[in-house]
Amino acid sequence: MQIEQYEKAGKIAGTVREDVRNKNWVGHTVEEICEYVESEIIKKGAKCAFPVNTSINEIAAHYTAEPNDPKTISDTI
């Protein structure tokens, strides 16, 4: 893989991450957020190598929403 592809992937990931951080997700499920992230990455011409991971409150990292995951974002984040 060429360095330019890594740079493009990093720019896409950074753009999507900032977009997600700037949205109000209260009342949405973690699954909805993960689906949004995946769709935005695809819209930008890339694809995910791994499932989208989240870090919310006591979950330090690497939480992946399962299908129909009921975990919802509250306003206490």
pLDDT tens figures, 16-66: 999 999 999 999 999 999 999 999 999 999 999 999 998 877 777 788 888
Report DSSP state, residue 50: S
Q: pTM, whole model, 2 decimals?
A: 0.82
**Most distant CA pair in the chain, distance:** 42
Distances from the Cα of 65 to the Cα of 4, 11, 44, 49, 52, angstroms: 31, 24, 22, 16, 8
Q: Domain spans of the chain?
A: 1-77
Kindly tell me the burial class for residue 2, based on how many C-beta atoms sit within 10 Å of its own C-beta (0-12, 13-18, 19 or more).
Answer: exposed
